[in-house]
Chain A
Amino acid sequence: MKIIALVKQVPDTGGERKLDASGLLDRDASERIIDEINERSLEVALSYKDTNKQTEVVLVSMGPADATSTLRKGLSMGADSAIHIVDDSLAGSDAVRTSAVLAAALKDTGFDLVVAGNESTDGRGGVVPAMLAERLGVAQLTHLNSVELSEGSVSGIRSTDNGTLTAHAQLPAVISITEIAAEPRFPNFKGIMTAKKKPVTVLSLADLGVETAAAQSVVVSATARPARAAGKKVIDDGNAATELAEFLAAERLI
């Protein structure tokens, strides 16, 4: 089985994250790392490979040139190879365009299963997996809390707004997983050493032949919200509960 694990480079959530003047991510404002959710989605692929040795796991990432370090991390965890789509004209791509570029790459590589995170920790859009499925003409099974993978099908428990549901799809398919689905392994020394020798294919837009879409989402304005000002703060002297109730009543909240 050939499994594609999508990975994204994101700013570290531990630090402060900023937008630039045009409303795009300021990539220089914080340290960039592999998205934690992608370590988990890669783990889903690798744990299948653990018991099915014939499995090939390929990382695919679209991102700036320095996203190579993100891919090396994934290779050191155990992926076999990586495809890195780099093109300056892709900066600021919306989800529709991102999915078109990824779909073009996946049509070339072929796949049985595509595994993604349910949403990135920076954009939090969570729509690329379903867009990919639509473009590739396959089923999508998103937001999986658990994944059961077999030779011809995938099933799992999907979190919904009102609980969960179990669902299945025939392969090929695109799935996305939640943070509950897997605990990622740490790369061991051997993994880190062999990662340096694993192949990373770099592709440009010209290599993929993706046309520009007619419709796109554009940022009209981006404003840093004034930091939410602290309001009233009282030290409880026995009356604080009453004061709070009066505040809530004045705000018509009780």
Chain B
Amino acid sequence: MSKVLVLIEVSQGAIANTAVGLLAAASRLGEPIAVLAAKPGTDLAAQLGALGAAQVYLAETDQAGELLVTPEVDALASAVEALQPAAVLLANSPDGRDTAARLAVRTAGALLVDAVDVKLDGQRVVATHSVFGGAYAVDAAVEGGLAIVTIRQGAIEGKAEPASGTVTTIPLTVDGSASAAIDEVNAATEASSRPELRGATRVVSGGRGLGSGEAFELVEQLADALGAAVGASRAAVDAGYVPQTHQVGQTGITVSPQLYVALGISGAIQHRAGMQTAKTIVAINKDEDAPIFDIADFGIVGDIFTIVPKLIDEINARAH
């Protein structure tokens, strides 16, 4: 079985939540091998077998977390040389994309960005992309070199079977002379118990129909009842109801959750571009002609302020 490398990102000292989906995707293509760049003495590598890594390639360097993606690129380049994989999978995060970009140039490979699915076609890795906000499904493959694929967070369902996770540790020397250096990491200031929007499996978003920042609490209450992340349309962000970090759409975050609930969102094409690959879409809006209803699996024409509280009661009643 051919080897498939997965870059494991570290977030605030822990394995980033993207690792599960990446290892699941890798397990469909071949033997999943986790690649981790970390400071010496980490215990993170030991956790990766449970997530499906057959092997762990642990590159130890004091520069991990100090230099911007350079340690990760060097770790992957070293693993590619040592293991001759068929493919390398990374999260389509800012760090994942930069790492993948540099690796593609360094290994003379080719890059497939923001895949929503991966599969094997014979020996060839084929990635499916959702283009123009889901208007087109494009399958692409790499010819003549290593396939490097970044995968949209939240797009891959399920988990890989736990595997042995045999750890191989190598010392890595990183040349930082042509690298950006990290000065300070600021975790998102909202210490929220809610899931992160990016990669969330459930999202509840609010739009202009909420009418005010105070009323936006309704969105948060439904999100909490569903265990969902909170999103917003550009209109709600521009009106100041919520910070820009919540914006879903063409100029915000693209989500691909199992459930997307749109409250008081009309569904402009730029918003739909960021959410219409959701598996199930629910919309509540008082305007019967709102375009969001054209793509909703379940739409309610009505007042969010009377319907949503009832819905929360129904959900809570069923949870008990």
Contact = CB atoms under 8 A, between A and B. Distances in A.
A162 B178 CA distance: 25
Contacts of A27: none
Contacts of A91: none
Contact of A214 (B68, B141, B145): B145
A224 to B, nearest CB: 6
B247 to A, nearest CB: 10
Contacts of B95: 160-161
A232 B299 contact: yes
A224 B180 CA distance: 41
Interface string B282-320: 100000100001111111111100111011011100110
Interface stretch (A60-68, A163-171, A184-192): A163-171
A206 interface: no
B99 to A, nearest CB: 8
A96 B100 CA distance: 11
Nearest to A14: B269
Interface string B95-108: 10111111011101
Q: DSSP majority for the A interface?
A: mixed
B232 to A, nearest CB: 15
Nearest to B283: A233
A142 interface: yes
Contact of A218 (B108, B141, B226): B141
B3 interface: no
B168 interface: no
Interface stretch (A1-9, A195-203, A235-243): A235-243
Nearest to A240: B300
Nearest to A36: B251
A245 B311 contact: yes
A236 B307 contact: yes
B183 A167 contact: yes
A50 to B, nearest CB: 25
Contact of A241 (B100, B142, B269, B310): B310
B178 A139 contact: yes
Contact of A163 (B16, B101, B113, B188): B188
B303 A168 contact: no
B135 to A, nearest CB: 6
Contact of B299 (A135, A142, A213, A231): A231
B95 to A, nearest CB: 7
A51 interface: no
Interface stretch (B38-46, B126-134, B207-215): B126-134
A125 interface: yes
A90 to B, nearest CB: 16
Nearest to B121: A220
Interface in B177-199: 178-189, 196, 198-199
B110 A230 contact: no
Interface in A213-228: 213-225, 227-228
Interface in A83-125: 94-96, 99, 118, 121, 124-125
A159 interface: yes
Interface in B212-247: 226, 244
A137 B175 CA distance: 12
B137 interface: yes
A232 B297 contact: yes
Given A142-B98, A160-B93, A233 B293 contact: yes
Contact of B183 (A19, A130, A166, A223): A166
A140 B73 CA distance: 13
Given A217-B141, A241-B310, 8 more contacts: A125-B114, A131-B105, A167-B181, A216-B143, A227-B294, A232-B299, A235-B300, A241-B311
Interface of A: 13, 17, 19, 23, 94-96, 99, 118, 121, 124-131, 133-135, 137-143, 155, 158-169, 173, 179-180, 213-225, 227-228, 230-236, 240-242, 244-245, 247-249, 251, 253-254
13 contacts: A126-B97, A130-B69, A130-B102, A140-B180, A162-B11, A162-B196, A167-B183, A228-B295, A233-B296, A236-B307, A240-B300, A244-B307, A244-B311
